[in-house]
Amino acid sequence: MTPDDRRHMAHALGLGRRGMGQCWPNPAVGCVIVRDGRVVGRGWTQPGGRPHAETVALDMAGGAARGATAYVTLEPCAHHGQTPPCCAALVAAGIARVVAPIADSDPRVDGQGFDHLRKHGVEVTTGIGAEQALLDHAGFFMRVSQQRPWVTLKLAMTLDGRIATATGESKWITGPTARGAVHALRASHDAVMVGAGTARSDDPQLTVRGFGPHRQPVRVVVSRLIDVPLMSQLAQSAKDVPLWLCHGPEARSELRSAWEGVGARLIPCQITGGRIDPRAMLRSLGAEGLTRVFCEGGGQLAGSLLMHDLVDELHVFSAGMALGAEGYPGIGALGVARLDEAPRFQLVDVSPAGKDIHHVWRRSKNG
């Protein structure tokens, strides 16, 4: 391993992140091809998952790929799908060395890509950039291992943890810089999810705005009875931007038909304790191909996800105001009686967001 290896892998990882939210159910992979110290090709997984990063980079490199080193952020695929395996494409192009941080845990690959490369005389180096690659591909791996997507929960709250006044007023607790950061987070996820209460009270669009042409995330509304107004912005845009409704079996058939008529997709979900079971719901979303879901609330949905230990990352935007006990709490009831029962997270980052504070937390490794 050399400083150049680390530098080129960091470049490839940065490229791969450009595909986040754009290429599900495929992983967001980056690839950089280097020959004689010069980058001759680079690419990342394209919208919809194809072409793969290696294909894009090899096409750019052309004949310069022969004898070069390919830095790929995940083990090159080894299975025939809608495209030929990338490990075979790298061999055919004459790549002499492949540097990849981690193996692909997908059973269709799982070491077979590395084996194919070595069998055909390609040197394989692993481990460089592994920690970052594991984080970047966490949603893809989670869908493989746990059949559910990675869940990021966003909370925009006052200093005392409130998301609305007693009368329900909530726009805007945080400022424009924080709201811009939220759009960036939406853009890096496959889906944006809210509860029925938020859909009713805020009438949100849940789209990515301010980023130019963009593959919009799926809008997911969790509504046991599908009791969201059919005149909402979500309904009116359902034929243009994907809208999925996670509902229970008791949702009325006429409402189901009406929502399907405006272009929404219905996802039936299991009910536990009178509410949609969040673990079963996420498995249903994983079965549909989602790898990264960005939950924007409200309080009841946030509480349900936290209570069932289903939040992998928290983005909290704190505004310098207080609303008092009569305001709506950002997180619903958790049933915590003792401190050792509380969900715990580790602080990852703190940064200003205009006049607000943005802090990032990830699931605590110590439980």
pLDDT at position 3: 84
Q: Compute how many other C-beta atoms are within 10 angstroms of the C-beta atom of residue 80.
A: 10
Q: Sign of the C-alpha dihedral, residues 226, 214, 19, 110?
A: positive
Q: Name residue 86's amino acid.
A: C
Considering the domain boundaries, does residue 142 fall inside one? no
- Total of domains in the chain: 2
Which domain-ending residue is among 137, 171, 189? 137
Which range marks the domain in which residue 58 is found?
3-137
| Residues 255 and 354 occupy one common structural domain | yes
Known catalytic membership, residue 54: yes
Active site residue: 54, 75, 296, 313, which one? 54
| Residues 94 and 201 occupy one common structural domain | no
Per-residue pLDDT of the chain (367 residues; tens, 9 = 90+): 688 999 999 999 999 999 999 999 999 999 999 999 999 999 999 999 889 999 999 999 999 999 999 999 999 998 766 667 999 999 999 999 999 999 998 878 888 999 999 999 999 999 999 999 999 999 999 999 999 999 999 999 999 989 888 887 777 889 999 999 999 999 999 999 999 988 988 889 999 988 877 789 999 999 999 999 999 999 999 999 999 999 999 999 999 999 999 999 999 999 998 899 999 999 999 999 999 999 997 888 999 999 999 999 999 999 999 999 998 888 888 888 999 888 899 999 999 999 999 999 998 765 4
| Residues 156 and 247 occupy one common structural domain | yes
Maximum distance among all alpha carbons in the chain? 69
| Residues 265 and 133 occupy one common structural domain | no
| Residues 266 and 166 occupy one common structural domain | yes
What's the CATH code of the domain at 92?
3.40.140.10
| Residues 26 and 129 occupy one common structural domain | yes
Whether 138 and 166 have beta carbons less than 8 Å apart is answered as no
What's the CATH code of the domain at 180?
3.40.430.10
Phi, psi of 186 (to 5 degrees): -55, -45
| Residues 133 and 18 occupy one common structural domain | yes
Q: Specify the pTM.
A: 0.92
In sequence order, what are the residues at sequence separation of 6 or more whose Cβ sits closer than 8 angstroms to the Cβ of residue 102? 74, 75, 126, 130, 133, 134, 137
| Residues 19 and 97 occupy one common structural domain | yes
| Residues 282 and 249 occupy one common structural domain | yes
